[in-house]
């Protein structure tokens, strides 16, 4: 149901398979852009892990989230059949993007435009922080007049609303755009 923001859309029924449908749809029966983002995120997870959307008892999105919460590396989740050393960074980025797209809170999911920009490798902001994913993740909120805020205009590690483009996992700082260790101005 991808539509322009200014246009209205009416949907009388939504069909879908277990694993692809956003959790909030089961509760509200309402669809919007964030419902599509969730489904697209599941596809990204399928592509990078080689697992089906209905993987496990709770689905692939929940499995990927648990994988991250348990402190396992992203590389361990990637499909061994297609994982090549020269593509691990790109595959890891797409896996992580899939995790962000399948966040439980629809408002925490990126917009499809942000997803596209990230997939194209452009330095457009994409982050919704990992703070609600689990204790292994820390995304420090913006502090007024902080070093991070002062550098936000020229530093691609910040989103337009000063959310960090980085996260910490297993004591390593990662940029969502490059997945390289880097200083994130915490």
In a domain? residue 154 = yes
Measured CA to CA, the distance from residue 115 to residue 153 in angstroms comes to: 21
Q: Is residue 56 part of a domain?
A: yes
Are the C-beta atoms of 14 and 30 separated by less than 8 Å? no
Residue 38 in any domain: the answer is yes
Q: Please state, in angstroms and rounded to a whole number, the distance separating the CA atoms of residues 101 and 99.
A: 5
pLDDT in tens, 80-98: 999 888 889 899 999 999 9
Predicted pLDDT at 15 = 58
Specify if 162 maps to a domain. Answer: yes
Residue 14 lies in a domain: no
Give me the sign of the Cα torsion angle 147, 151, 157, 163. Answer: positive
Residues in the chain: 186
How much is the pLDDT for 19? 85
Confidence at 169, pLDDT banded by 50, 70, 90: very low
Residue 75: predicted pLDDT: 93
Across 8-17, 96-105, 137-146, 160-169, the highest mean pLDDT is recorded for: 96-105
Give me the CATH number covering residue 101: 1.10.510.10
**Tens-place pLDDT, residues 98-143:** 999 999 999 999 999 999 988 988 744 444 344 434 333 333 222 2
Cα–Cα distance list, 139 to 3, 9, 49, 59, 70 (Å):
31, 35, 25, 26, 17
Q: Domain count of the chain?
A: 1
Mean of all residue pLDDT scores within the chain: 70
pTM of the model: 0.63
Encoded tokens for 136: 């292994």
Quote the tokens at residue 31.
């669809």
Task: List, in sequence order, every beta strand (DSSP E) within the chain.
Answer: 137-138, 166-169, 172-175
Please report whether residue 18 resides in a domain: no
Res. 3 pLDDT band, cuts 50 70 90? low
């Amino acid at each position: 149901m991808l539509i322009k923001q200014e246009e209205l859309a009416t949907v009388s029924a939504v069909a879908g398979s277990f694993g692809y449908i956003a959790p909030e749809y089961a509760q509200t029966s309402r669809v919007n852009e964030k419902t599509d983002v969730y489904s697209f995120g599941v596809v990204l997870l399928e592509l990078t892990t080689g697992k089906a959307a209905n993987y496990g008892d709770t689905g692939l999105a929940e499995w990927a989230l648990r994988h991250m919460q348990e402190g396992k590396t992203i590389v361990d989740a990637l499909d061994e059949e297609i994982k090549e050393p020269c593509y691990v960074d790109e595959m890891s980025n797409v896996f992580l993007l899939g995790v962000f797209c399948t966040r439980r809170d629809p408002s925490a999911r990126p917009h499809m435009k942000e997803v596209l920009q990230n997939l194209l490798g452009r330095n457009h902001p994409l982050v919704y922080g990992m703070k609600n994913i689990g204790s292994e993740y820390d995304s420090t909120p913006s502090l007024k007049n902080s070093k991070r805020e002062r550098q936000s205009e020229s530093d691609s590690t910040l989103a337009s609303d000063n959310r960090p483009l980085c996260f910490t996992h297993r004591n390593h700082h990662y940029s969502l755009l490059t997945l390289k260790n880097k200083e994130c101005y915490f």
